[in-house]
Amino acid sequence: MLFLVPHAEHLNIPPSKAIFLSTIGGIGGIIGQTIFIILVSKGINAFVLYIAIGVICTRSFLLDSISSAYVVRASFAFVQGFSFFVDDAIMSSLCKDAVFDERNFNMAQALCNFMGGLGVTCAGTFTGYVFDVIHSFTKVFIIIGFIHAAMVVHIFIVAVLIKRRRRQDVSFHFDH
């Protein structure tokens, strides 16, 4: 959501309208995080939610070049805000499911928070550098889409591995 306003201005959307894209993204984020928390508290698998929402967010980035209309930009801002706020909320849920020995949970949570902070810091620097090199917000957003797609694939692989490990643990306990 870092480049929403300059990207919109680059697409000839007046600054007085472009500024609202950040607000629209923030509203999407608040709604997304609220819905995510409700669904996870009702027992919905956090991995399934992340993958589904991640696919939608990835599409919004990869389709960035389809239109410069304000309505399209606002829709993308809402979807991306919704998705990124869910991304922020999901780390704790994923740690809970990914750690098999509860004694390691605190370290796993600390590492997730550290790596998340490092990623956010590096992401801003990286995308700023990419923009400086290629001078196109649209291409930067498409690159972010590919990076987000890789994250979704990674989470899918992790979910499969965790499920496989849990099955092995259950069968091990029945054998002994």
User: For the chain, what are the domain ranges?
Assistant: 4-175
Distance between CA 161 and CA 155 in Å, rounded? Answer: 10
Mean pLDDT score, 76-87: 91
pTM over the 0.85 mark: no
- The SS3 call for residue 125 is helix
Tell me, what DSSP letter sits at residue 65? G
From the options 3.40.640.10, 3.40.50.300, 1.20.1250.20, 1.20.950.20, give the CATH code of 4-175: 1.20.1250.20
Q: Work out the pLDDT band at 23, boundaries 50, 70, 90.
A: very high
Residue 20: the pLDDT is 95
- What does the mean pLDDT of the chain come to? 88
Helices and strands, counts by H and E, the chain? 7, 0
DSSP assignment string, 18-64: HTHHHHHHHHHHHHHHHHHHHHHHTT--HHHHHHHHHHHHHHHHHTG
Q: 54-80: per-residue pLDDT in tens?
A: 999 999 999 999 999 999 999 999 999
